[in-house]
Amino acid sequence: MRQDVEFLSDGTKVRGMFLTPDSGVGPFPTVVMAGGWCYVKELVQPSYAEVINRAGIAALIIDYRRLGESEGEPRQHINPWDQIEDYRNAISHAETMDQVDENRIGVWGISYSGGHVLIVGATDPRVKTVVSNIPVVSGWDNMKRVHGSLNFRRLQELIAADRTARFEGRPSEYIPMSSMTPNDEQTTWPFPEVYEVFMQLKETEAPNHEHRNTIHSVELLQSYSVFPFLERILDTPTMMIVAEGDDITSWDREIQAYNEIRTSIKELVILPHTSHMTLYSNKSRLEIAAEAAARWMTTYLVGGPGAG
């Protein structure tokens, strides 16, 4: 039950897929979904959407501008504020679709987009519920933690040199998203398991994935924080799902962010004995997170207080 869609986001053509439940008749409550760092729409998100579809909820999954099948240059340049606009324009597109109940739209995100959906939920009154999985909540703190002092210094030098080059009219250079040898080369996310899992996903389900990003993307990441927006989530039902001991997006910072969300209609789900990458590679853990999201959305999009 897939329909390909496209729409303009700030003048750039964004493409996605609309997945509907196998049973029932629209218009359906709908969740807008997009991925994290260097994701394409086929990467892991359809597995989450399948569980959400079983709950009677449609899913609109998009490729951000400059990634996957969407248009835009330079390729693999990740601007979080552009991606947040892509979410909001995806909501606007969903409102025009006959199969979507425009009064019952939620947002779902994972990793980088787990942070995005908190910001979208805080700033867009059309959002009726939010599900944030293992979110990036502070880019600066995240980069300092995962790189360590010496490699973080080198990263800052790389960013400074790239800024000079851009000022002189040259394009931003590229670095790998991750690699098997992060001590030997500069990467954005210096974890061999990230490289391993993403290469497996590229081989099996997401051939459009490119495992690289502009250096400028990392500079923008370091200015990214969800914390100024959390006090604005006043009455939008919000679920956060974190992995116990997650040292990639820092579960302690995620829990701090959860505690600063103002609404009383919220739930924190902590998955025990689960790492960040387990929610991509281990289907049983993925299923647990997806079922929690589907339960929450069933309450607040299908039949609960937030449902219209």
Answer whether residue 133 shows pLDDT above 60. yes
Buried b (16+ CB within 10 A) or exposed e, 99-129: bbbeebbbbbbbbbbbbbbbbbbbebebbbb
| Residue of higher predicted confidence among 42 and 283 | 42
- Each residue of 134-188: pLDDT tens digit? 999 999 999 999 999 999 999 999 999 999 999 999 999 999 999 999 989 999 9
Q: Give me the pLDDT at residue 26, please.
A: 85
Domain 2-141+227-303: assigned CATH number = 3.40.50.1820
State the average pLDDT for the chain: 95
Mean pLDDT of 196-211: 97
Q: State both tokens at 280.
A: 């991509």
Helix (H, G, I), strand (E, B) or coil at 127: strand
Q: Give me the pLDDT at residue 231, please.
A: 97
Amino acid symbol at 302: V
Upper half-sphere CA count for residue 244 (Cβ side, 13 Å): 7
Q: Give me the pLDDT at residue 98, please.
A: 96
Count other Cβ atoms within 10 Å, centred on residue 281. Answer: 16
Buried b (16+ CB within 10 A) or exposed e, 185-205: ebbbbbbebbbebbeebbeee
Pair 71, 12: CB distance under 8 Å:
yes
Question: What gap in Å lies between CA 37 and CA 213, rounded to an integer?
Answer: 9
Bridge partners of residue 203, in order along the sequence: none
Answer whether residue 80 shows pLDDT above 50. yes
Q: State both tokens at 278.
A: 């387990």
Pair 183, 167: CB distance under 8 Å:
no
pLDDT tier at 278, thresholds 50, 70, 90: confident
Question: What gap in Å lies between CA 258 and CA 276, rounded to an integer?
Answer: 17
Q: Give me the pLDDT at residue 305, please.
A: 43
Q: Give me the pLDDT at residue 306, please.
A: 44
Tallying the residues shown for the chain, one arrives at 308
**Domain segments of the chain as ranges:** 2-141+227-303, 144-216
Q: Give me the pLDDT at residue 44, please.
A: 94
Q: Give me the pLDDT at residue 284, please.
A: 77
Q: Give me the pLDDT at residue 163, please.
A: 98
pLDDT tier at 303, thresholds 50, 70, 90: confident
Spatial CA neighbour of 288 closest among 239, 241, 255, 247: 241
pLDDT tier at 308, thresholds 50, 70, 90: very low
Question: What gap in Å lies between CA 179 and CA 22, rounded to an integer?
Answer: 39
Pair 85, 27: CB distance under 8 Å:
no
Question: What gap in Å lies between CA 13 and CA 229, rounded to an integer?
Answer: 28
Buried b (16+ CB within 10 A) or exposed e, 247-257: ebbbbebbeeb
Q: Give me the pLDDT at residue 70, please.
A: 98
Spatial CA neighbour of 58 closest among 32, 96, 90, 82: 32
Helix (H, G, I), strand (E, B) or coil at 67: coil
Percent of the chain with pLDDT over 70: 98
Q: State both tokens at 71.
A: 């248009």
Report the C-alpha dihedral over residues 19, 20, 26, 31, rounded to 10 degrees.
-60
Answer whether residue 304 shows pLDDT above 80. no
Strand locations in 198-279 (E): 212-214, 238-243, 266-271
